[in-house]
C-alpha cells in the first residue's frame, strides 16, 4: 500500500465543516427555491463573501466565531442557477437523479418511503441549502435573518427550515455518545488531535496493526484518492476543485419504541436492557466500545479520545466481543470482512469512508412532540461508492458479513420482522426489530469550493452560464 504524502490544499477555498468540524451547539438549515436564474445568482453573490471556509485562524486558541454560513446545491438548483446541460452531464448520475431515485437501493421503503416524507422534499423543489451554526440560538437567528433579508426583492424564496441542537454530552436521542470513528485526514494547516504512534483508530487500518490517514481525495474533488488518482469530477475543473458531494437525510428516531423494544428483548433473554442496547450499537451509552470493554461500560474509556476508537476486529472474528451485526461494526468494518490480505482489506474499507457532520434535532424524550432524531450529513467524493454502497450493502444486506438477509438494527430497512444475532456460547437472538429510525426527507447536494461559488454567481459574465 502506498504511503500518502500530505496534500497541498488552499484552506480558504474549501467550505467549512468538512475538514474541521464546527461542534457548535445550535444550527438551522434553510432550504431555498430559485424562480429566476439572474436573481438566484445575485442572491448567491451577496452571500459568497460571508461563507465560512476551512481557514483555521478563527478557531485557534479554542475560540469560535459567533456564527458560520455554508451553502450547497441540488442538481435542480444548479440547473436553476443557469448551469448548462453539458456541464450538468459531467456530475455523477446519482447526484443528477437525486436521492428519491435511489430509494429502493437505500432501503427507503415502507415507513421510510419518499411518499411519506415531510412536505417540501418533492423532486425539483429544493434548490439550495444554507447551513447556519452558532454557539447560541441568537447567533443562529441573526445569521438566518441576514440570509432572509438577501432574498427580499428577488425571485428567491425559503421553502422550509430545519433547526437542530446538540444534546448533552454529545449524545443522540437513543442516549448514546456519537461522532466516533471519523476518518483521520493529514492536511497541513488543519489542526487535529495528536496521533500517538498512529494508534488511536482515527484513520484506517494500515495492515500492520497501526493506523494511517485516509486520502483527501476520498472526500474532496481535485485531490488524489486512495488509488492515487483524481476521483471523477464535474467539468470545468474550477467548478469541481475543493468541492464535495453532501448527503443530507432527516432520520426520525422513535425513542419510546426503542426503550420498549430493548426492555422486552431483555426480559425474553434474561439479561439487562442496557446489554441488549449495547449489542445493537456496538458501544455502551458512555461511548466505550464492546470490543474493548465487552462486560460493562467504562466511562473513563468512553471519554478518552486517544483510546476509545483504537481497536480492530482481528481478535474478535466470531463477534463474541462485539456482535458482527452491531451498527458500528457494519458501518465501519475495519478489518472484519475476512480477507486474508490485510493491506488490500484496509484499502477496500477506506474507499467507503465518509466524513460525518450530523446533528440531532428535536427536544429530548419525552419533551415536546415525537419529531426528534438525527440530521445525517456526510461529505464524500463519490455518492455511489461511499454512501450508497454503505447504505445498500452494509446496512441493508448482511451477505458480506455472513449474516444472510439481516439488516442493520437502526439504519437498515426494519419493519418489525428483522432479527439480529448476539454471538456467544450460546448465542442469543433478538427478533421483531421495529422501525426505530425512519427517513423523513433528504437529498444529494454539491458543496462547491469558494472559487466555484464565485464562478456560479458570476454566471454568463464568466462565460460559463447561459
Per-residue pLDDT at 466: 43
453: left (phi over 0), alpha (psi -120 to 50) or beta: alpha
Mean pLDDT, the chain cut into blocks of 10 residues (466 residues total)? 63 95 96 97 97 88 88 98 96 98 96 97 97 98 97 96 96 95 83 56 72 92 93 95 98 98 97 98 97 96 89 92 96 82 72 95 94 98 97 93 94 92 95 97 98 92 48
pLDDT at 336: 83
Residue with cell 434553510: 30
Three-state secondary structure call for residue 457: helix
CA distance 87 to 356: 28
Q: Give the per-residue pLDDT at 4.
A: 52
Query: How many residues comprise the chain?
Result: 466
The SS3 call for residue 365 is coil
Q: How many CB atoms lie within 10 A of CB 314?
A: 12
Query: What integer pLDDT is reported at residue 130 of this predicted model?
Result: 98
Task: Supply the pTM of this predicted model.
Answer: 0.94
Look at residue 1 in the predicted model and tell me its pLDDT.
Answer: 42
- Domain parsing of the chain, residue ranges: 11-167+219-246+444-462, 251-441
Amino acid at each position: 500500500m502506498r504511503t500518502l504524502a500530505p496534500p497541498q490544499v488552499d484552506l480558504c477555498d474549501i467550505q467549512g465543516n468538512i475538514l474541521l468540524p464546527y461542534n457548535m451547539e445550535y444550527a438551522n438549515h434553510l432550504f431555498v427555491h430559485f424562480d429566476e436564474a439572474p436573481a438566484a445568482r445575485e442572491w448567491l453573490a451577496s452571500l459568497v463573501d460571508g461563507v465560512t471556509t476551512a481557514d483555521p485562524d478563527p478557531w485557534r486558541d479554542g475560540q469560535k466565531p459567533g456564527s458560520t454560513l455554508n451553502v450547497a446545491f441540488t442538481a435542480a438548483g444548479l440547473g436553476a442557477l443557469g448551469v448548462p446541460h453539458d456541464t450538468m452531464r459531467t456530475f455523477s448520475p446519482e447526484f443528477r437523479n437525486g436521492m428519491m431515485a435511489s430509494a429502493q437501493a437505500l432501503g427507503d421503503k415502507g415507513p421510510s418511503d419518499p411518499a411519506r416524507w415531510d412536505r417540501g422534499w418533492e423532486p425539483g423543489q429544493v434548490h439550495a441549502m444554507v447551513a447556519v451554526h452558532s454557539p447560541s440560538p441568537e447567533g443562529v437567528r441573526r445569521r438566518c435573518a441576514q440570509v432572509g433579508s438577501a432574498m427580499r426583492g428577488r425571485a428567491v424564496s425559503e421553502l422550509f427550515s430545519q433547526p437542530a441542537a446538540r444534546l448533552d454530552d454529545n449524545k443522540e436521542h437513543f442516549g448514546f455518545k456519537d461522532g466516533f470513528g471519523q476518518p483521520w485526514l493529514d492536511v497541513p494547516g488543519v489542526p487535529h488531535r495528536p496521533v500517538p504512534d498512529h494508534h488511536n483508530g482515527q484513520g484506517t487500518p494500515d495492515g500492520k496493526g497501526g493506523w494511517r490517514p485516509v486520502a483527501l481525495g476520498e472526500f474532496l474533488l481535485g485531490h488524489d484518492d486512495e488509488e492515487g488518482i483524481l476521483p471523477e469530477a464535474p467539468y470545468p475543473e474550477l467548478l469541481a476543485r475543493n468541492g464535495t458531494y453532501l448527503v443530507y437525510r432527516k432520520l426520525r428516531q422513535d425513542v419510546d419504541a426503542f426503550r420498549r423494544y430493548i426492555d422486552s428483548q431483555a426480559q425474553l433473554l434474561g439479561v439487562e436492557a442496557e446489554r441488549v442496547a449495547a449489542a445493537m450499537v456496538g458501544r455502551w451509552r458512555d461511548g466505550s466500545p464492546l470490543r474493548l470493554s465487552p462486560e460493562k461500560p467504562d466511562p473513563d474509556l468512553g471519554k478518552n479520545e486517544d483510546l476509545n476508537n483504537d481497536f480492530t476486529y482481528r481478535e474478535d472474528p466470531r463477534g463474541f466481543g462485539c456482535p458482527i451485526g452491531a451498527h458500528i461494526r457494519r458501518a465501519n468494518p475495519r478489518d472484519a470482512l475476512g480477507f486474508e490480505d490485510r493491506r488490500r482489506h484496509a484499502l477496500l474499507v477506506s474507499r467507503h469512508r465518509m466524513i460525518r457532520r450530523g446533528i440531532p434535532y428535536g427536544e429530548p424524550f419525552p419533551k415536546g412532540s415525537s419529531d426528534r432524531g438525527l440530521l445525517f450529513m456526510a461529505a464524500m467524493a463519490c455518492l455511489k461508492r461511499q454512501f450508497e454502497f454503505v447504505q445498500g450493502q452494509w446496512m441493508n444486506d448482511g451477505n458480506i458479513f455472513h449474516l444472510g438477509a439481516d439488516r442493520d438494527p437502526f439504519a437498515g430497512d426494519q419493519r418489525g420482522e428483522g432479527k439480529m444475532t448476539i454471538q456467544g456460547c450460546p448465542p442469543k437472538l433478538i427478533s421483531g426489530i421495529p422501525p426505530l429510525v425512519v427517513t423523513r426527507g433528504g437529498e444529494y447536494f454539491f458543496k462547491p469550493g469558494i472559487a466555484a461559488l464565485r464562478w456560479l454567481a458570476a454566471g454568463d459574465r464568466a462565460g460559463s452560464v447561459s
